[in-house]
Structure 1
Amino acid sequence: MRRSPDEVSELRAPSCRVASSVEKENLNTSGALLHRLNHVTKMFPELNSLLECNKKNLPNGKSLVIIDSQTDGSFLLHHFISLYIQGGGKVVMLAFAQSFSHYSSVAQKLGINLNSACDDKTFVFLPGLKYTLDGIINRDVENPLLDTSNCKSLHSLYQAINSAISANENQSLPTLLIIDDISTLLYLGFQHTEICTFLTYCQHTVCKKTNGCILSLIHNDSDVEDQSSNLLSRWFHHFADIVLELEGLQSGRSKDVHGQLKVVFTRREQNDLHSLSPLSRCVHYRIRDKGVSFFALGTSPAIL
């Protein structure tokens, strides 16, 4: 079902959609983390190990996606913001779900001043709804990113991203493009095919031209029948180099285990004999007062 821009605005917090009862519990847990973090310089060191990256080895040239179901995966975005800024890179945030003050508040608790980063042009905040509505009003019939059937264009979004990346004075500076969250475009009525085209353009600009990284967040709740969301989620498994799938526990919320994370490497090195089979790693996670801990399945302290 398509929503008007006004309806989308009402659903913006925390993730531009109505949450299920199970998801609300997980959102409360995730939100508690964002308000209680206390100057953690390394947010999720275990996650860096899972992704085989760190601030000295950024995932440049790669496309990543966070797909959450029955939980809120947005807390992972703050890890990547911290990773790139501490690693001497640049972050371009295309935000639909939260305001700049939200990201700034969380970053400050991680020891990062996003206001200073904005002054240094190492953090660029782009309000997604503004550029989307501009594209709907100011249509360009000659642009290939145009939705001619509904007179809606994603061209303004792409132009804003391209300008933010091109304004990089130091072209060797690694750039991370974050889209939080791509589901909003579905709620606005864009077809998944149009969103795929838009993301392909962004990938070419960020990953191919600047050797940067693109990170998208999409919601695909298993208890909601949404064909467009399902199609887009499946497409991401072909588009992205690394897929981070977060799920709430099927047994319900637990005080010791808050969810499950599955990291899928869709592309392997050419000299890898198992390159045709994606590598996946699955762990449980628990959100704590000062961070998030990841551990192997079945190894929760409560079980051991």
Structure 2
Amino acid sequence: MFIELNNMCNISGGVQIPGTCVLIEGCHGADSSFVLHHFVSGYLKSGFNLCFIGLSQSFNHYNSVGIKLGASFIDARENGNLVYIEALKLLGEEILKYESETDMSILQSSKLLHFENNNHSGLKKLYHHCKYCVQDLLTKHPDKPLLLVIDDVSVLRLIGYDSLDVIYFMSYLRALMSTYCGCLVVQTLCDTTGEDQDKDPAVQHIHHQSECFIKVEALSSGYCKDVHGQITVCSRWPESEAMKRAMQYKIQDKSVIFFALGMSGAVL
């Protein structure tokens, strides 16, 4: 776990405030996955409950990275603290189920892609599966904090779901976490260089509903071997003052070094 990042996010003891949401956004080609690994490894090493919705990487990938950070996905799953959901596999099974009924134009119908008021929606079935997994985790370990993670929600847009369906899906997950006093961490990729109004409506919705927004971006000056990028944290936790902090960072094999803007040893 990266103590400096916890301090930037105003998080005490590595545990987010129950019922809140953290959005991690990677911009301009910057890899924000180290922030995601920070939250995940912190929960697993403490024996907390984790429900992981994988849309971007495999279970083995996260297990390999987790081992470097001292947190084994395999051990956590065997101990009943972790549920890893292969979301693309579940959504793909829904598509294959209806493929024989008609041609591929069904993908444009409400049966598979539209969330609201439709029991055939793949996203709705994914939500109910997540709900079941969360309830199962809390049944086994009711006294442990709960974290729900989505590793790249922008994948849902790439495979055909429109912004409104993603908004519904995320709203249901947010409500689920509020019900069970859990925390939601969402990662997304931003391909635009414009302002907020140019972003996808689904990303805007998650941004406005998040108590903590973490933006990771490459240096505007270009590549530097000693400074890999800049991280900006905007937090508005309940019962605390809103704040905005920015630092630069360098990713190492098993850790991340953070330093004030322009204060890298390579610069001074």
What TM bracket, shorter-length normalisation? Answer: 0.7 to 0.9
Q: Quote the residue 1:83 is aligned against.
A: 42
* Unaligned runs of at least 5 residues, structure 1: 1-42
Residues 5-34 of structure 1: CA deviation (Å, up to 9, x unaligned):
xxxxxxxxxxxxxxxxxxxxxxxxxxxxxx
Q: Does 1:52 align with 2:42?
A: no
Q: Is the contact between residue 134 and residue 156 of structure 1 (CA under 8 Å) also seen in structure 2?
A: no
Please give the alpha-carbon distance, in whole angstroms, between the structure 1 residues aligned to 2:207 and 2:193.
20
Alignment match, 1:153: 122
2:85 matched to 1:121?
no
How many residues are aligned here? 251
Q: Is the 1:237–1:266 contact (alpha carbons within 8 Å) kept by the matching residues of 2? A: no
CA RMSD across the alignment: 2.6
Q: Quote how far apart the aligned CAs of 1:224 are.
A: 9.1
Give the Å deviation of 1:160. 1.4
Q: Helix, strand or coil: the match of 1:92?
A: strand
In structure 2, C-alpha distance between the alignment counterparts of 1:107 and 1:267, rounded to whole Å: 27
More off after superposition, 230-239 vs 119-128: 230-239
Corresponding residue of 1:13: none
Residue 185 of structure 1: CA displacement?
A: 0.3
Normalised by the length of structure 2, the TM-score is 0.84
Q: Distance in 1 between matches of 2:266 and 2:211?
A: 34
Output the CA distance in 1 between the equivalents of 2:205 and 2:21: 13
The correspondence for 1:296, drawn from 257, 260, 266, is 260
**Per-residue displacement from partner, 1:51-101 (whole Å, max 9, x unpaired)?**
122446443321011111121111221111111112331111100111111
The question of 1:205 aligning with 2:176 is answered: yes
Distance 1:161 1:232 in 2: 20
| AA at the equivalent of 2:253 | D
CA distance in 1 between counterparts of 2:246 and 2:145 reads 28
- Matched AA of 1:235: H
1:154 match: secondary structure: helix
What is the aligned partner in structure 2 of residue 263 from structure 1? 233
Q: Which amino acid aligns with 1:194?
A: D
Alpha-carbon distance change, 224 to 49 in structure 1, aligned in 2, over 3 angstroms = closer
1:145·1:197 contact (CA, 8 Å) conserved in 2? Answer: yes
Q: Which amino acid aligns with 2:264?
A: S
Q: 1:131 to 1:228 in 2, by over 3 A?
A: farther
In the alignment, the residues of structure 1 paired with residue 208 and residue 164 of structure 2 have an alpha-carbon distance, to the nearest angstrom, of 14
Q: How far apart in 2 are the matches of 1:244 and 1:161? A: 24
Is there any run of 5+ residues in structure 2 with no aligned partner, and where? 99-109
Structure 1 residue 163, shift from structure 2 partner: 0.9
Q: 1:152 deviation in Å? A: 4.6
Alignment of 1:239-250 (within 5 A): 239-250=209-220
Q: Structure 1 residue aligned with 2:166, among 189, 192, 195?
A: 195
Task: Give the Cα separation in 2 of the matches to 1:180 and 1:260.
Answer: 20
Question: Is contact 1:136-1:152 (8 Å) kept?
Answer: no
Deviation, structure 1 residue 117: 0.8
Note the alpha carbon deviations across 1:223-261, whole angstroms, 9 max, x for none: 599x98532332222111101011111111112211111
1:243–1:263: 8 Å Cα contact kept in structure 2? Answer: yes
Aligned to 1:14: none
- Identify which of 230, 234, 247 aligns with 1:283: 247
Spell out, residue by residue over 1:95-121, the C-alpha distance to the aligned partner (whole angstroms, 9 max, x if none). 011111111111112222221211111
Secondary structure, in 3 states, of the residue corresponding to 2:186? strand
What CA deviation, in whole Å up to 9, does each residue of 1:190-244 have, x standing for no partner? 11111111111001112x121111111111123599x985323322221111010
One-letter code aligned to 2:54: A
Measured at CA, do residues 134 and 289 of structure 1 come closer, stay the same or move farther in structure 2, by a change above 3 Å?
Answer: closer
Q: Report whether the alignment pairs 1:97 with 2:56.
A: yes
Match of 1:178 among 149, 168, 174: 149
Q: 1:268 to 1:118 in 2, by over 3 A?
A: closer
Does the 8 Å CA contact 1:63/1:242 hold for their aligned counterparts? Answer: yes
Identity of aligned residues (%): 32
Deviations 1:143-187 (A, max 9, x none): x83487xx7531121011101101022323211111011011000
Structure 1 length-normalised TM: 0.75
How far apart are the structure 1 equivalents of 2:155 and 2:14? 33
